[in-house]
Structure 1
Amino acid sequence: MFQKTPALLLDQADRQEWELPVRGLEEPLILDTHFLGLTPLNDIQSENHEFDCIAISGLASHPFGSWQPKGKDKGFMWIRDALPRALPMMRAILYGYDTTLIRSNSFQTIGDLASSLVNHIKANGWYLADSKRLVFLAHSLGGIVLKEAFWMMANGDSQGQRILDRFLGGIFFGVPSHGMEASHLLAMVRGQVNEEFVDALSSSSKYLRLLDDHFAGLISTRDMHFRWAFETKTSPTVAVSAQLSPCF
Structure 2
Amino acid sequence: MLRDYLDTLNIGNRFVIRDYLDTLNIDNRCMKGNSQVLSLAMYGSWQVASVSFEYHEPDIFRGCKPDQNIYLQFPKRRIEGRAVPVNVTVDCDFYGMTPFYESPEDMIKYDIIAVTGLSAHAFGSWKSPDQAHVMWLRDFLKIDLADSRVLTWGYHSDIKNDQSTTSIAAISRDFLQDIKFARRKSASDRPLILIGHSLGGLVLQQALADAGKETDEENGTLLRSCIGILFFGVPNLGLNPQASRHW
1:167 partnered with 2:218: no
CA deviation map 1:131-189 (0-9, x unaligned): 4221011101000000000010000241212211111112101111111455523xx3x
- Partner residue of 2:152 out of 94, 102, 115: 94
Counterpart Cα distance in 1 of 2:197 and 2:226:
18
- Partner residue of 1:65 out of 124, 137, 140: 124
Q: Which residue of 1 aligns with 2:34?
A: none
> Quick one: structure 1 residues 108 and 74, their matched pair in 2 at CA, closer, same or farther if it must change by over 3 Å?
same
Structure holding more strand per residue: 2
Give yes or no for contact 2:180–2:188 (8 Å, CA) kept in 1.
no
* SS of aligned partner of 2:106: coil
CA deviation map 1:71-117 (0-9, x unaligned): 4x311111111111111011110001110112324321110000000
Alignment of 1:7-46 (within 5 A): 7-10=59-62, 12-14=63-65, 16-22=68-74, 23=76, 24-26=83-85, 28-46=87-105
Amino acid at match of 1:149: A
Q: Which residue of 2 aligns with 1:205?
A: none
Per the TM alignment, residue 54 of structure 1 is displaced from its structure 2 partner at its CA by 0.1
* SS of aligned partner of 2:97: strand
Counterpart Cα distance in 2 of 1:43 and 1:80:
10
Counterpart Cα distance in 2 of 1:107 and 1:129:
34
Per the TM alignment, residue 36 of structure 1 is displaced from its structure 2 partner at its CA by 0.5
Give yes or no for contact 1:51–1:132 (8 Å, CA) kept in 2.
yes
Unaligned runs of 5+ in 1: 189-237, 240-248
Counterpart Cα distance in 2 of 1:119 and 1:40:
16
Counterpart Cα distance in 1 of 2:145 and 2:239:
33
Aligned-pair Cα RMSD in Å? 2.1
Equivalent residue pairs, number: 186
Amino acid at match of 1:121: I
* SS of aligned partner of 2:177: helix
Q: Which residue of 2 aligns with 1:106?
A: 164
Give yes or no for contact 1:127–1:162 (8 Å, CA) kept in 2.
no
Give yes or no for contact 1:18–1:30 (8 Å, CA) kept in 2.
yes
Unaligned runs of 5+ in 2: 1-51, 77-82
> Quick one: structure 1 residues 47 and 14, their matched pair in 2 at CA, closer, same or farther if it must change by over 3 Å?
closer
Give yes or no for contact 1:127–1:163 (8 Å, CA) kept in 2.
no
> Quick one: structure 1 residues 14 and 94, their matched pair in 2 at CA, closer, same or farther if it must change by over 3 Å?
closer
Alignment of 1:83-232 (within 5 A): 83-126=141-184, 131-158=189-216, 159-180=218-239, 182-185=241-244, 188=245
Counterpart Cα distance in 1 of 2:181 and 2:121:
23
Amino acid at match of 1:9: F
Q: TM-score, normalised by structure 1?
A: 0.69
Per the TM alignment, residue 128 of structure 1 is displaced from its structure 2 partner at its CA by 6.0
> Quick one: structure 1 residues 35 and 130, their matched pair in 2 at CA, closer, same or farther if it must change by over 3 Å?
closer
> Quick one: structure 1 residues 38 and 178, their matched pair in 2 at CA, closer, same or farther if it must change by over 3 Å?
same
